[in-house]
Amino acid sequence: MTEEEVKPMAPGLIQAHAPEVKEDSSDRRRKRKQNDPIANLRKWEPRTRLGQKVMAGEIITFEQALNSGFPIREVEIVDALIPNLEDEVIQVNMIQRMTDSGRRVRFNVMACVGNRDGYVGLGMAKAKDVGQAIEKAIVAAKLNVISVQRGNGSWESSMGPGTSIPFKIKGRSASTRVTLMPAPSGKGLVIGETGKRVLELGGITDVLSRTKGQTRTTINYAAATFNALKNLNTTRVSNEQTERLFIHKGRMIE
């Protein structure tokens, strides 16, 4: 096959079209997810223009998808561009409502997804069953994935790829406010357990924080932390600051 006949493909599609590896039947570990993203990509038929471009190999990275201007409305697009996303359930709430026919029970779930290397998403969903609500929340989180801006913003940081954030940033959700501050390498995540789970999935390993408001509200705490990461991408940064603070978005470039 010549070089002209070989067309580029998204990383997830490469895994989907690779030969399947038979699993060892003796190793029966827990599998919470019934829907396999790679298996879904094998039978994926794009319905949007962005999905068709990803399938055709015109778009092979998540940054190209964001710069294209087309909205991401198919979860298979995210699975194709960012394979091996990890998901974690942040909170599960049971909602009871009295109706004329009796008590109505529904579940509200918040989930977070990320590859621990520059991409993270947060989403919420409701359903009658817990399993269905979790699956819908994971899909909502994948459709809400953002690229995380990392850097060495602490005066104690040394040269090299950033493991923290480049500068101080604030995020809020309802009455909860979270302030993230740069930390040197090795400091760890000095933040509450809920915020730590969001930052870990985003690939940030060192950060200092300060919180205000009702931080015991898990959903608002996670949303405020995610909002702070989104605000990092909307802040203007000069080329000189990018080089001095070792700022980079998305996955770590080796």
Residue with tokens 């409502």: 97
Q: How many Å apart are CA 17 and CA 10, to the nearest integer?
A: 11
Q: In the chain, pLDDT over 90 holds for what percent of residues? A: 56
Reported as a pLDDT band with limits 50, 70 and 90, residue 29 is very low
The residue type found at 25 is S
Q: Given a cut of 70, is residue 192 above it in pLDDT?
A: yes
The secondary structure of 45-87 as a DSSP string is: ---SHHHHHHHHTS--SHHHHHHT------HHHHHHHS-S-EE
Q: What is the pLDDT of residue 253?
A: 52
Cβ(180)–Cβ(169) under 8 Å? yes
Q: Given a cut of 90, is residue 241 above it in pLDDT?
A: no
Does the pLDDT value for residue 22 go beyond 60? no
pLDDT at 34 over 50: yes
Task: Give the CA-trace dihedral at 34, 39, 44, 48, to 10 degrees.
Answer: 60
pLDDT of residue 100: 78
pLDDT score of 5 more than 70 = no
pLDDT(254) > 60: no
The larger pLDDT score, comparing residue 164 to residue 24, is at: 164
At 19 the pLDDT is 67
**Do 227 and 220 touch, CB atoms closer than 8 A?**
no
Lowest mean pLDDT of 18-22, 212-216, 217-221, name the range.
18-22
* Domains within the chain, CATH numbers bracketed: 11-20+32-81 (no CATH), 86-146 (3.30.160.20), 149-249 (3.30.230.10)
E strands in the chain: 86-99, 102-114, 119-127, 146-147, 149-150, 169-173, 176-181, 189-190, 207-212, 248-249
Question: Which residues neighbour 163 within 8 Å (Cβ) at sequence distance 6 or greater?
Answer: 150, 152, 185, 204, 205, 206
**pLDDT (0 to 100) of residue 28:** 46
- Output b/e per residue, 13-24; b: 16+ Cβ within 10 A: bebbeeeeeeee
Q: What's residue 139's pLDDT? A: 95
| Residue pLDDT, tens place only, 43-61 | 999 999 999 999 999 999 9
| Residue 2 confidence (pLDDT) | 47
